[in-house]
């Protein structure tokens, strides 16, 4: 029973931070839209959509769109050595095809009850393929990164920084930051460290949330385009 209460609290705190993130990018007038990488049950996407709807109503800012990226086939093949050596992969928590939940149509159906369909943009496929197809003028104010694996995180974020898709002041929330015993050698921590070096990212670390999440605000970086 104690574990159930704790798990519920952690999920509730994560939802609160997603809502605060949406409020931040609206209130601070951060340019661009909102994106989620890894949709699974659709719970966090729904949380973000409801927060967007409320910000539209209360803050009267230009409405933002919600971009959702997912393979809808679960996790990809574990190819990177950084992932093969990670604790969660070795223990079988993360496997190829794992973490598969809602189908694309089911996800869209859930979201369209919370936000108008024209505000949704869904990219179906592997990040290494879909992110590269974003139009050059695409800008993101907030990212929710639930990629689990190091390689998936790199596949999602490297093209965004390379092509200048992240706005000044953009908020990035990493859902799996403290997985793999919080080791900086694996997963999202390793990916972020490499991206910071590769693109000279100036950022603020704005703290942890839930048991596994951490968030950052991007101030500047060197895109390659």
Is the confidence at residue 53, as pLDDT, over 80?
A: yes
Return the structure tokens found at 182.
């919080």
Question: What confidence score (pLDDT) does residue 60 get?
Answer: 73
Q: Among 35, 52, 213, 21, which Cα is nearest to 121's?
A: 35
Question: What residue ranges define each of the domains in the chain, with the CATH number in brackets?
Answer: 2-220 (3.40.50.150)
Q: How confident is the model at residue 46 (pLDDT cuts 50, 70, 90)?
A: very high
End-to-end Cα separation, the chain, in angstroms: 52
Q: How confident is the model at residue 7 (pLDDT cuts 50, 70, 90)?
A: very low
Question: What confidence score (pLDDT) does residue 58 get?
Answer: 87
Q: How confident is the model at residue 3 (pLDDT cuts 50, 70, 90)?
A: very low
Return phi, psi of residue 217, to 5°. Answer: -110, 130
CA 78 to chain CA centroid, Å, is 20
**pTM: predicted TM-score of the whole model, two decimal places:** 0.93
Question: What confidence score (pLDDT) does residue 101 get?
Answer: 82
pLDDT digits (tens, 9 = 90+) for 157-196: 999 999 999 999 999 999 999 999 999 999 999 999 999 9
State which H helix or E strand residue 190 sits in.
helix 187-199
If one counts every other C-beta atom within 10 angstroms of the C-beta of residue 19, the result is: 17
Q: How confident is the model at residue 8 (pLDDT cuts 50, 70, 90)?
A: low
On the 0-12 / 13-18 / 19+ scale of CB atoms within 10 A, 95 is middle
Distances (CA, A) of 177 to 65, 96, 149: 25, 20, 10
The mean pLDDT of 135-161, rounded to a whole number, is: 97
């Amino acid at each position: 029973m104690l574990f159930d209460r704790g798990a519920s609290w952690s999920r509730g705190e994560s939802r609160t931070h997603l809502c605060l993130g949406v409020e931040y990018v609206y209130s601070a007038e951060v340019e661009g839209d909102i994106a989620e990488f890894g949709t699974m049950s659709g719970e966090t996407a729904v949380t973000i959509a409801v927060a967007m709807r409320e910000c539209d109503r209360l803050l009267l800012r230009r409405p933002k769109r919600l971009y959702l990226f997912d393979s809808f086939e679960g996790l990809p093949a574990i190819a990177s050595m950084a992932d093969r050596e990670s604790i969660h992969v070795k223990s079988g928590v993360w496997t190829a095809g794992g973490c598969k939940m809602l189908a694309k149509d089911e996800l869209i159906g859930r979201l369209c009850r919370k936000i108008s369909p024209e505000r949704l943009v869904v990219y179906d496929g592997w990040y290494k393929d879909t992110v590269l197809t974003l139009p050059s003028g695409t800008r993101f104010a907030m990212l929710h990164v639930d990629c689990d694996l190091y390689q998936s995180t790199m596949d999602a974020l490297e093209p965004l920084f390379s092509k200048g898709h992240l706005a000044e002041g953009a908020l990035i929330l990493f859902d799996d930051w403290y997985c793999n015993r919080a080791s900086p050698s694996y997963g999202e921590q390793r990916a972020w460290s490499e991206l910071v070096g590769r693109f000279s990212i100036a950022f603020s670390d704005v703290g942890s949330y839930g048991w596994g999440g951490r968030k950052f605000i991007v101030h500047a970086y060197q895109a390659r385009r």
